[in-house]
Amino acid sequence: MTNKPEKTVSTSRSRNIFLVDYETTTDPVAEAFRMLRLQIQTSMGPAQNGDARVILVTSALEKEGKTTIACNLAQMCAIAHIPTLLIDTDLRKPAIHNAFNIPRTPGITDELLSDDQSGPPIVETLIPNLHVLPAGKFTKHTTEVLGSPPFRRILSNLKKRYSLIILDTPPAGVVADVGVLVKKVDAIYLVIRAGATKIRTVKQVVRTLRDLGGNVQGIILSRINPRRDKYYYYHNYPNYYSSYYQEGDSKKKGSWWRRNKQEIE
C-alpha cells in the first residue's frame, strides 16, 4: 500500500531535519551527498538476486546528525533513478516524517502490532523514486518489535520491490534496538560529530557492532564546513567520510578527524 504525502503541522517538539536542494549543482553540501552516494554504490556493488541492498545509518550518541544523513542520502539516491525506500526504525524518537512533511502514523509499528494484512503503509514522497515507511504509533517494546519475525518478513518482501533500503535507527551507543537489526542489513554506516564525539566512544560502538555480527562499512564525519574542509579517507575503510552542513569552528572540527582517524579500528 502506497499513500500520497499529506501536509501536516509541526509541533514544538518536532525535530527539524535539514534537506539539501538536490537540484542545485553549485552547493558544496549537495555535492557532499552526491559523493556519499557514489562511495556507497562503489563499496557495496549492485544488488544480488534482484533483492535490494539494505544499509543501516546510526550514530554513536544522540544529536550527531544520523537522520539528516539518512534523509539526504535517500533523496540523492532517488534522483539518481535508484528506487529507494527510507524506513524510520528509530521508534523512540522518530523524525523522518517531519523531514518529508508526512504523518507519523500509520507506520511500521501499526503494521507489526495489528492483524491488518494489507501491507506496510508506505508513503510516496514528492521526490521521484523515493518512498518512506514512517515509524508509526508509539510502543514501549521497540527492541522486541524490530527483532520480531514479522519485521524480518516485511523487510524481506520489501527487498524485492526496491533497489535500496535505508534504515534510520536510534544511536547504537545509547539503546539496544540497533543490535537486533545489524544482521538484517548489508552494511552499517556510523555518523559521528566532529569535535564532539570522543574517540573511545566511537571505538567502543564499532567494536560492539562488529561483535554482534554487523558489517561496519564506513564512518561519516558530520558537521564539517564543506567550503573549508576536505574529505578524509581512512585506509582501513574502503568508504567515505563526508559532511552535511556548515556549523561553527570548522578548523577545530577538521583537526579532530586528523588527530583521531588512526585510532579507529
| Extents of the domains making up the chain | 35-214
Q: Class for domain 35-214, per CATH?
A: alpha beta
Are 7 and 191 spatial neighbours (Cβ–Cβ below 8 Å)? no
Residue 133 has φ and ψ, to the nearest 5°, of: -110, 105
Q: Is residue 232's pLDDT more than 60? A: no
State the average pLDDT over residues 68-85: 95
Q: Is residue 11's pLDDT more than 50? A: no
Q: Is residue 248's pLDDT more than 70? A: no
> What's the confidence (pLDDT) of residue 22?
83
pLDDT band at 222 (very low <50, low <70, confident <90, very high): confident
Stretch among 38-42, 46-50, 63-67, 159-163 having the lowest mean pLDDT: 46-50
- The percentage of the chain sitting over the pLDDT mark of 90, rounded to a whole number, equals 57
State the average pLDDT over residues 8-18: 50
Q: Which residue has the higher pLDDT, 237 or 37?
A: 37
> What's the confidence (pLDDT) of residue 158?
96
> What's the confidence (pLDDT) of residue 207?
94
pLDDT band at 225 (very low <50, low <70, confident <90, very high): low
pLDDT digits (tens, 9 = 90+) for 96-148: 999 999 999 999 999 999 877 678 999 999 999 999 999 999 999 999 999 99
Q: Mind spelling out the 3-state secondary structure of 207-257?
A: HHHHHCCCCEEEEEEECCCCCCCCCCCCCCCCCCCCCCCCCCCHHHHHHHH
> What's the confidence (pLDDT) of residue 189?
96
Contacts of 159 (CB under 8 A, 6+ apart): 51, 52, 54, 165
The overall average pLDDT reported for the chain is 81
pLDDT band at 15 (very low <50, low <70, confident <90, very high): low
Q: Do you find a cis peptide bond into 106, omega within 30 degrees of 0?
A: yes
**Nine-digit cell at 173?**
551507543
> Between 28-44 and 66-79, two packed helices, what is the crossing angle to 10 degrees?
80
> What's the confidence (pLDDT) of residue 118?
77
> What's the confidence (pLDDT) of residue 30?
87
Stretch among 35-39, 156-160, 181-185, 209-213 having the lowest mean pLDDT: 35-39
Which of 16-25, 46-55, 111-120, 203-212 is most confident?
203-212
Q: What pTM does this model have?
A: 0.80
Residue from 73, 76, 84, 161 nearest 129 by CA: 84
Scanning the structure block, which residue is given the C-alpha cell 521521484?
Answer: 128
